[in-house]
Each structure stands twice: as structure tokens, then as C-alpha cells.
Structure 1
Amino acid sequence: MGLAMSWPFLRLYMLALLYFSANAILNVIIPLRGESLGASSTTIGLMMGAYMFTTMFFRPWAGHIVHKQGPIKVLRLILVINGFALILYTITGLWGYVAARMLQGVCTAFFSMALQIGIIDALPEKERSQGISFYSLFTYIPGIVGPVLALGLWQTGGMDSFSVLMVSVAIVTCLFGYSVKMEERKEHPVPDNAGHSTRLFHSLAQLVKNPFLCKSSILMLTASIVFGAVTAFVPLYAHQLKHGNAGIYLAIQAAVVVLTRLGLSKKIPSDGKWRSSLMMGTMLLLAMAAGCVSFSITGGATFFYLGAIQMGIAQAVLYPTLTTYLSFVLPPSDRNVLIGLFIAMADLGVSLGGMIMGPVADFTSYSFMYMICGLLSLLMIYVAYDRRKMVKKTI
């Protein structure tokens, strides 16, 4: 058994599972609750997008603050704030949901950066991709049961049960998080705030100047728009389909992500080489997935669930592959901040999937909106191809 599957790392993965379990339920409840209160697709998209948009905004600073204050101290505070956000869902209405989503976004920025950067720093190069893949895998496991549970609660009118569930998740996550230990890393000096701000603005420029980061970020941003549109609107779109069930769709997608990650955990490239064929194939699969979801309004639920399978495979491959690739090719001195910016692009994409695609759905239809998502993914096939054969530079 490799270091990536040792007990200390398993505890971190389990904490990630608990932390993200609430989202698997909220991603179904919030759109349905919003629609029942008369909210438009645009308003629901803004509610759903507020979470990842806030995460994106705070993530570039999260790594620095965690490094300066120590991961355990920050993690424990974040778990308490996240618990308060979950309880807020049980006592507020539509706009209270927006506040809760934003609070969750702040918490997720610090939580995920602390765990992911810690995993990257602690594992040897040959096991980095496994560690990142397992972390991401455990964040998706709740998505297998959560959507079906949420749909069951909604259909039975069990909002009281929903409140009890949110409070329980908040308490259990806090208790488990307080028992987790993380190794403090002291070999890297903590820079002053002014120096950090200067480097941050320099790092923002690298989104354009650094070809490795630029290409990876464009692919991740576009794919995340598609993922975000699915998360935000599938619970509503499924109502329009005969035999369509949002809980089953989201459960299938999450299960495929988990199974694909398990099957490919040792096969994801961990050598710093860019593989055009893999990236082009992944974006093609994503385009086909969005196309199937779009066509299901005519073709039926079979295409709807086929889209879930294809979407899950694309999602399972894309994020850990690009993150591992960047961990090799980015300069070590700025690697953590630049990876933070890359992850922020993924957050921005998920946010835009709700914020931009919501108005598109309002003016056209959900089916047409998903067709637009498919076309965007097709354009990314060209971006994924690289004649220069992007590889890690020799220092």
C-alpha cells in the first residue's frame, strides 16, 4: 500500500467526504426550493453560483493564510463557520440561502487549499496524482447517495428532516475535523503580506504569460461551466423529461466519477508531460455528454442518463490530470499560488455555469442551454491540441 493510502491521508480524505456531503444534498434542494418560491432560472443560477464565485475570490489568499497561521488552527475555525452556514439553511429563506452559500464559499476556499496543497507537499512525485485523485474522489462519494436522499426529502415534504440532517452534518464534521492531525511544515519561510500581494499580482499575470497554466486554465474553466450548468439546472430540467430523475442522474454521474478515479488512480500521468490525445478525447467526451443531455428532451431519458455516464468520466479524468501536470511544470517558488489560481478558474467556471447559463435558459430553454455547453466543449478540442508538445522544462 502506497503512502497516499496510509491512515493519516485516509483521515484527510474522510474529512473531505464529510465536509462535502452537505453540498450533495444542497445542490438538489436549493434549485427545487428556489423554484417553489417563484425564483427564475437566473435567480437560481445566481444562488448556486454565489458559492463557487466566493470560493474563487478567496482561494488565492487561502494558501498564504493557511501557511502563515498553520493548517490546524485555520481548519478548526473554518469548520465552525461552515457549521453555522449549514444551520443558516434551516432558519432562513431565499436570500438567506445566498448568504449561506457565500459563507460556504469562503470556508471551501481555505478547506480545500489546506488539504490539497498539504497532500501535494507531503507525497513523493510518483504518488502525487494518486493523492490528488483520492482526495477528489472522496469529495464525490457523497454525490452517489446525497441527490437521491435530497429528492426523497423534497418529494415527501420533509423539510424538518432536512433541517435535522444539516445540523447533524455540521456537528459530525466539526467533531471529526477537530480530531484530525496534520503535519506542520516549517522548511519554507512565511513571506510578509506586502511581498505576498506583489507575488499575487505577478501570479495573476501568469494566467496569460505562462503557456502551461494558461492552456490548463482555459480547459478547466470551460469544462467547469458545463459542470456548473449541470449542477444548477438538472434538478429543474429533469422535470421536463419523461422518466427523468435528477437524483438518479446526479447519483450516476457521481458513481462514475468515483469508479473511474478508482480505476485510473495509478494511470493518471504523473510525469509532467502534456498528452494532447488524452485532453482532446476528454473534451470530446464532455461535448458528447452535454449533447446527450440536450437531446434527451426529444430522445428520452436514455440519452439523459448516458450523458451522466459520459459527464462523470470526463470530470473524473480532467481535474486530477491537469492539477498533477501543473504540479510538475510550474516553478516551485510560485507553485502553490499558481495552482490556487488554477483551482480558482475551476471555481469560476462552476459559478458561471449557473450565472451565465441561467439567463440563457430563461430566454431559450434548458435543452438549448446544454447544446451551447456542448459547442463550447467542442471548441476546447482545438485548445487541447498542442503542436509544441508541452513538457516540463529542464532547469
Structure 2
Amino acid sequence: MKKSPLSFSMLQIYGLAIFYFTANSVLTVIFPLQAADQGMPEAEIGLMMGIYMFVCMLLRPWAGQIVSKYSVLTVMKYLLIGHVVALLLYVWLGVNSLYVVRILQGIVTAFFSMAMQIGITQTLRDEDRGQGMAIYSLSSVMPGLYGPALAMILWVQGDLSLLLIFITILAFAPLLFFIKSPLPKTKKANASFTMKEMGEGLKIAFIHKGLIVSSVVMIIGASIFGAITTFLPLYLITTNTGNVGLYLFLQALVVVGSRFIFRKYIPSDGEWHAGFISLVLASSIIGTTMLALLPIIGSFVYISALFNGIATAMLYPTLTTYISFAIPESHKHVLLGLFLASYDFGFSLGGVLMGIIIQFGSYPMMFGACSVIGLIAIGYNYSAKSANGQESFLEHNKS
């Protein structure tokens, strides 16, 4: 029986998402701070944080097939057990477990988001699917409003036991929302994944101009987001020039607000809109440039949260919407997985490479580098426009 998007059982699913992503939101702030406190160099912190999204990237193309083969309910059960194991491992071993915990988080997250989206699709009526996906998307970003602030409150208390108790609660809370949830048990026949399909999808990916250009822009944009997420808390604390919780709250508030306010402006016609994408990238460049100038502008740095929030909110849905039109239906599940993996790869790469720049340079130099690669992305983005003038990416795909 199909559910209403605002029924009690669907609210239970959204609650599951909120508590799952709350743990990620808190630990994304805590891990770099704790690692730096133990003397871990910036390059290694970037690697430790980046390995999470790197694992997501590797597993993303397989996630949809595995969820379809074994059912959303079955896969989610094991995912949440893995979530508990990862967080309790951190509670038990502390800093010594960070690499293993990040890998486990990457494995769980790669399948969690896919299982949730497939589950919502199968649970709701077709006409309610958009509303359900919108509420789920909101549920996944809401922890960004309060998670970093909670993390900083727990961190400045200096009492590690309070943090560990809170993490233990977050480990088990999603299980409470999973019990008697309406997640479907349906298995899809012939859903097994073959390397032949992956090979065919890769061949198409390498000759598909639209997929290549959008993936490169996504990788560059995500690398900037990854650098900000990983190193901004350390930057503000080491320079003692801003409140980490306030900055991240403002940025998350802009992300949530932008996705709602500007949702109707996201191009949805299958064409490459270089001007719109350039505006999004320009917002990111302004934000990172202001962060690079933090020693000069001081408290005005909070304005950069507005620009970074807009870029974070708009780039992913804009490029994903375009790709949903551009890739061929015959290999859509493989190519979409590969494209989404480009975001994971970029996010991971940003933490690793920018950590090296900080270690051998400085934080302002790193954020300046983010602005430079943002400019490169704008230039590359316009190469798509010139190609689009000769042959539509969509037409290229159909041929």
C-alpha cells in the first residue's frame, strides 16, 4: 500500500535520515580537530578525511544494483548495523581508529543514500515522489544547521566522556526509527551487476562530451567543498578569528534556504547552461577568496558563508539534473553512478591535495588555490558552451 509523503511512517524514514546524517555532521567537525590536537599533520588529516568520500566513489556504481537485488529493507538493516559498529569503534579506540572509522562510514554512506532514494521511490505514489524526495533532501542537509554547533559545544567543554556518550546515542538512534519502518522488501529480478555493463558504460563515458565536461566541473567544485569542510574549523580556531559553529550554521542555513528559494531556477531542459553554472562557480570563488583574506577582513569573513553556501547548494543539483537528461537510458544506472562518483572523488581529492598545500604553505594560500581552480572550472565550463553550439550534448547522446 502506497504511503502519503507526510504520513507518520514516512516521517519515521525522514527521522532515520536526520539522525544518520547528524552523526556525520558532528564527526566531520570533531575528527580534524581531534587529529590536529594529537599532532597529526595537515596532509594526513586531509587524507584521513578524504578517504571517506573516496570509498563512496568506489562503491557508488554498485550501490543501486545491490539494493535492488536484496531489497531496501534488507540492505538498510545491515547498513545501520555497520553504522553502529563504526561509531562504537571510535568510542572504544578514539583517535587510533579514525582511518578505519572513515572507511566504514564511506561504505555505509555509499549505500545509505541510494537505499533511501530507492525506498522512497517505491513507497510513495508517483505523483508524490517529488515531494518525498524533496523532504528527504531537506532531512539530509538539516543536520548541517545544528551538527557543527553541537560538535563545537562538546569540543570546547574539554570533557571527552560527554562527546563519547553523545556519539553512542547517535550510533543507536537510527535503529529506533528503522524498527517497523515502511521501507520496502521488494527485490528486483535480474538486478545483478556485471563487469560487462560497467565496461560498456565506461566506453560511453569516455566519448560522451556532456558527461566529461559536467564531471570535470563537478570534480573541481567538489574539491573546493571538500577543502572547506575539512579545514575551515582548523583555520578559524588556529587563527582565533571566528566562531566555527556560527560560520557553519550560517553556511548550512544558506544551503537549506537556497535549495528551496532557487529550486525553480535550476535548468531542467537537458541543455548545458554555461552562464548559470558560471554564476554558481563565481559564488564559490568569492567565498574562498574572502577566506584567503581572513587576516585582513576579520569578522567580515562570515559573509563568505553566504557565497560558499549558495555554491554548495546549487552546483550538485544543477549538474545532476542536466546529466539525468543527457546520458543514454540503456546505461543510465551505470553512468549516473559514475557521475555521482565524480563528486565523491572531487570531495576526497580536495581534502588530500589542499592538506598538502597547507602543510607546505598556509591556510590563505590553500583557499587562494581554491579560487584559482574555481576560475579554471569557469573556463572549462565555457568549452562546453562552444561545443553545445555545434552539437547538442543530448543529440550527441542519442546518436
State TM-score, norm by structure 1. 0.90
- The answer to whether structure 1 residue 359 and structure 2 residue 340 are counterparts is no
Aligned partners of 1:309 and 1:344: how far apart in 2? 26
Residue 326 of structure 1: aligned partner: 323
- The answer to whether structure 1 residue 78 and structure 2 residue 75 are counterparts is no
Residue 239 of structure 2: aligned partner: 241
Residue 295 of structure 1: aligned partner: 293
Aligned partners of 2:255 and 2:290: how far apart in 1? 18
**Structure 2 unaligned blocks of 5 or more:** none
Deviation at 1:13, TM superposition (A): 3.7
Q: Give runs of ≥4 in structure 1 deviating > 6 Å.
A: 120-130
Partners of 1:28 and 1:235 within 8 A in 2: yes
Aligned partners of 2:321 and 2:5: how far apart in 1? 17
- The answer to whether structure 1 residue 190 and structure 2 residue 190 are counterparts is yes
Q: Secondary structure at the match of 2:293?
A: helix
Compare 12-21 and 112-121 and name the one that shifted more. Answer: 112-121
Partners of 2:72 and 2:186 within 8 A in 1: no
Distance 1:116 1:155, change over 3 A: same
Partners of 1:71 and 1:114 within 8 A in 2: yes
Residue 276 of structure 1: aligned partner: 274
Aligned partners of 2:315 and 2:114: how far apart in 1? 18
**Sequence identity of aligned pairs in percent?**
38
Partners of 1:132 and 1:320 within 8 A in 2: no
Aligned partners of 1:204 and 1:9: how far apart in 2? 36
Residue 34 of structure 2: aligned partner: 33
Compare 100-109 and 10-19 and name the one that shifted more. Answer: 10-19
Residue 348 of structure 1: aligned partner: 345
Residue 114 of structure 1: aligned partner: 115
**Structure 1 unaligned blocks of 5 or more:** none
> What do residues 330-363 of structure 1 show as CA deviations (whole Å, max 9, x unaligned)?
2222212211111111111111111111111000
Distance 1:182 1:295, change over 3 A: same
- The answer to whether structure 1 residue 22 and structure 2 residue 32 are counterparts is no
Distance 1:220 1:135, change over 3 A: farther
Residue 304 of structure 2: aligned partner: 307
Compare 45-54 and 361-370 and name the one that shifted more. Answer: 45-54
Aligned partners of 1:166 and 1:206: how far apart in 2? 43
Aligned partners of 2:167 and 2:331: how far apart in 1? 38
Letter of the structure 1 residue corresponding to residue 206 of structure 2? V
Letter of the structure 1 residue corresponding to residue 95 of structure 2? L
How many residues in Structure 1 have an aligned counterpart in Structure 2?
Answer: 389
CA RMSD of aligned residues (A): 2.5
Aligned partners of 2:48 and 2:86: how far apart in 1? 14
Deviation at 1:114, TM superposition (A): 2.0
Aligned partners of 1:14 and 1:267: how far apart in 2? 28
Aligned partners of 2:127 and 2:360: how far apart in 1? 49
Aligned partners of 2:253 and 2:305: how far apart in 1? 10
Aligned partners of 1:84 and 1:190: how far apart in 2? 31
Give matches, 1:146-161, under 5 Å.
146-161=147-162
Partners of 1:294 and 1:366 within 8 A in 2: yes
Distance 1:391 1:207, change over 3 A: closer
Aligned partners of 1:80 and 1:88: how far apart in 2? 12
Distance 1:75 1:220, change over 3 A: same
> What do residues 298-354 of structure 1 show as CA deviations (whole Å, max 9, x unaligned)?
22131x212111111111111112212222222222212211111111111111111
Letter of the structure 2 residue corresponding to residue 295 of structure 1? L
Q: Secondary structure at the match of 1:300?
A: helix
Compare 129-138 and 44-53 and name the one that shifted more. Answer: 129-138
Letter of the structure 2 residue corresponding to residue 277 of structure 1? G
Deviation at 1:271, TM superposition (A): 3.1
Partners of 2:74 and 2:185 within 8 A in 1: no
Deviation at 1:275, TM superposition (A): 1.7
Residue 286 of structure 1: aligned partner: 284
Compare 277-286 and 110-119 and name the one that shifted more. Answer: 110-119
